[in-house]
A and B are shown apart, each in its own frame.
Chain A
Amino acid sequence: MSTRPVPGLAEAAREIAAGHLSASELVETSIARIAALDPALHAFIEVTPDRARAAAAKADAARQSGQSTGGLNGIPYALKDLYDVAGLRTTCHSRLLLQNMADSTSSAAERLDGAGMAFLGKLSTHEFATGTPSPELPFPNARNPWNTAHFAGGSSSGSAVAVASGMIPLAMGTDTGGSIRLPAAYCGIVGLKPTYGRLSRHGVVPLSFSMDHAGPLTRTVEDCAYAMQVLAGYDPRDPGSADQLVPDYLAELPLGVKGLRIGYARDFHAEAGIGAEQEAALDAAADVLRELGADVEEVTLPSRARFDAAGWTVIHGEWFAVHQRDLRHRLDQYATPTRERLIMGAFVTGPDYVRAQRLRRIVMHEVDALLQRYDALIVAPITGPAPLVADIEDTPLRRDMPLTVLFNATGHPAITLPCGFSADGLPLSLQLAGGWFGEARLMRIAHAYEQAAGWHTRRPAI
């Protein structure tokens, strides 16, 4: 059986539509790739080949009988193990939930299944979408396919690893402070945190109600647009869901950036401690966008101290609200890093939380004022390439809080995509943020950059 990587979502859709590939062949390629690589990369917690084969066979039969089928029909996908699928466990990578059988299916999985996609399993995460890699967890931690000694990022680590290693073309993640964008950045793929309310979180285990977002991880921006076309939309079962029209994401994708205005938060680099390689890669990305016809200007963001305080105070207060009962009664079942991070929420006072929400609203409007003047912002998502796993900080309150929390606090959509490689061969990443519900424009800009720069064509040597 072949262990070649699966094609991206858009390429797979085109190959299947042209009759060059069947959904069943694609699913078998995916299953074989997982069998070959996952023992070393640990992206999956559970693989569901029978479900995927059945969905692919159904898609192939529909095509053979001449029925009109959607572009993604029969293409495999997988879910971070925070998403419910009826009849399967949702473990959140935690000993606390090893017996947690879901009796209903998350909205995202319903939508992907409704498009005929083939569900192929549950993906590893950091425990409850927080914490860090730990030997105390019930499943192994996902490994970065570019170099397994380096961090895969988190918390949607399995999602990023599965896509980057060519096991599957689409994985769903969640992002509360950067948990889609960071692993996508470290693993050299595309991760989109949509606008707050754009994608339903129904059936996804919460971490922080105000900051949680669901979103896709894919190989390319075009793949991301394909996924968003299926995933986006109002869902009354998510109280944060927004009743906004869903545009045709693919239609705007090829329009380029000529005449668009892009703000580059370059003076943020010193405050954020951005390393030389990452800074040079961002400067080069800004130059590429200029060469493509965009008007790129430097802009100033709210200070990091302000958005860290606004974002992380809210997140800590809310995750303590989610976990307090289990921290009281089942404390020892959490891995140590998770337990201690969650306990930090006990220190958030009522006034802290209220002030953080007030400051958050102000920061939100400051950033939105920038996005009234610019079509997108360039903001560094990471300080440099993935650190060694051995060097990951596991203190209860991190010293190096992820920079990505800014757009969780403001709710603006933000996408990360590769923008170069370090001298050690590890991916570097560009983050673009856009106006509320402006994912179409955002992906258009990201796609133009991606196609011009070409970094997405590199794959890890595995």
Chain B
Amino acid sequence: MTDYTEAEIDADFESALRRGGIRLAPERRSVLRESYVRYLDMVSVLDDAQSYTDEPALTLHLLPTPEAAR
């Protein structure tokens, strides 16, 4: 599941449509937003660093964050 707040989802949803130049009919906004939340769930797999075990870049993911290092 995604860990975005509702406000973050709203903001990202609106900005993606604006950036894409898409004018959405008001009555279809909630249907698209619901699908957008499911899209975020689908792509959450892509955020898993363990998905990329053959990539040298993985080493960057394995380093502790500055916060954790402290």
Q: 1/0 per residue B29-61: CB within 8 Å of A? A: 001101110110011011100011111000000
Residues of B within 8 A of A331 (CB): 22-23
Whether A358 lies near B43 (C-beta < 8 A) is: no
Tell me the minimal C-beta distance from A301 to chain B in angstroms: 15
Asked if A309 meets B16 with Cβ closer than 8 Å, knowing A340-B31, A358-B55, the reply is no
Whether A327 lies near B32 (C-beta < 8 A) is: no
Pick from A305, A340, A362, A365: contact of B32, CB below 8 A. A340
Q: Is B21 an interface residue (CB 8 A)?
A: yes
Whether A344 lies near B39 (C-beta < 8 A) is: yes
Number of interface residues of B (CB under 8 A): 28
Whether A343 lies near B32 (C-beta < 8 A) is: yes
Please give me the residue from chain B that is nearest to A305 by CB atom: B45
Whether B38 lies near A346 (C-beta < 8 A) is: no
Q: 1/0 per residue A359-399: CB within 8 Å of B? A: 10010010000000000000000000000000000011101
Residues of B within 8 A of A309 (CB): 42-43, 45-46
Please give me the residue from chain B that is nearest to A313 by CB atom: B43
Residues of B within 8 A of A336 (CB): 28
Whether A327 lies near B46 (C-beta < 8 A) is: no
Pick from B13, B17, B35, B52: contact of A397, CB below 8 A. B35
Residues of A within 8 A of B55 (CB): 358
Q: Is A147 an interface residue (CB 8 A)?
A: no
Whether B43 lies near A346 (C-beta < 8 A) is: no
Q: 1/0 per residue A316-329: CB within 8 Å of B? A: 10001000100110
Whether B20 lies near A324 (C-beta < 8 A) is: yes
Pick from A316, A328, A356, A395: contact of B22, CB below 8 A. A328
Whether A346 lies near B52 (C-beta < 8 A) is: no
Residues of A within 8 A of B17 (CB): 343, 346
Q: Is B24 an interface residue (CB 8 A)?
A: yes
Whether A343 lies near B22 (C-beta < 8 A) is: yes
Asked if A362 meets B20 with Cβ closer than 8 Å, knowing A308-B42, A309-B43, A397-B35, the reply is no
Q: How far is the CA of A324 from the CA of B23 in the complex (A)?
A: 12
Q: How far is the CA of A312 from the CA of B42 in the complex (A)?
A: 9
Tell me the minimal C-beta distance from B28 to chain A in angstroms: 7
Q: How far is the CA of A343 from the CA of B35 in the complex (A)?
A: 11
Asked if A362 meets B52 with Cβ closer than 8 Å, knowing A324-B21, A327-B21, A346-B20, the reply is yes
Whether B32 lies near A396 (C-beta < 8 A) is: yes
Whether A362 lies near B35 (C-beta < 8 A) is: no
Residues of B within 8 A of A312 (CB): 42
Please give me the residue from chain B that is nearest to A306 by CB atom: B45
Please give me the residue from chain B that is nearest to A336 by CB atom: B28
Tell me the minimal C-beta distance from A237 to chain B in angstroms: 30
Whether B51 lies near A306 (C-beta < 8 A) is: yes
Residues of A within 8 A of B70 (CB): none
Q: How far is the CA of A327 from the CA of B17 in the complex (A)?
A: 11
Whether B51 lies near A359 (C-beta < 8 A) is: yes
Q: How far is the CA of A316 from the CA of B32 in the complex (A)?
A: 14
Q: Is A352 an interface residue (CB 8 A)?
A: yes
Tell me the minimal C-beta distance from B8 to chain A in angstroms: 13
Pick from B20, B43, B45: contact of A343, CB below 8 A. B20
Tell me the minimal C-beta distance from B64 to chain A in angstroms: 21
**B interface list, Cβ under 8 A from A:** 12-13, 16-17, 19-24, 28, 31-32, 34-36, 38-39, 42-43, 45-47, 51-55
**A interface list, Cβ under 8 A from B:** 305-306, 308-309, 312-313, 316, 320, 324, 327-328, 331, 336, 340, 343-344, 346-347, 352, 355-356, 358-359, 362, 365, 395-397, 399
Cβ contacts A to B, 28 pairs, < 8 Å: A305-B45, A308-B42, A308-B45, A309-B42, A313-B43, A320-B20, A328-B21, A343-B20, A343-B24, A343-B32, A344-B35, A344-B36, A346-B17, A346-B19, A346-B22, A347-B16, A352-B46, A355-B43, A355-B46, A355-B47, A355-B52, A356-B46, A359-B52, A395-B35, A397-B35, A397-B36, A397-B39, A399-B38
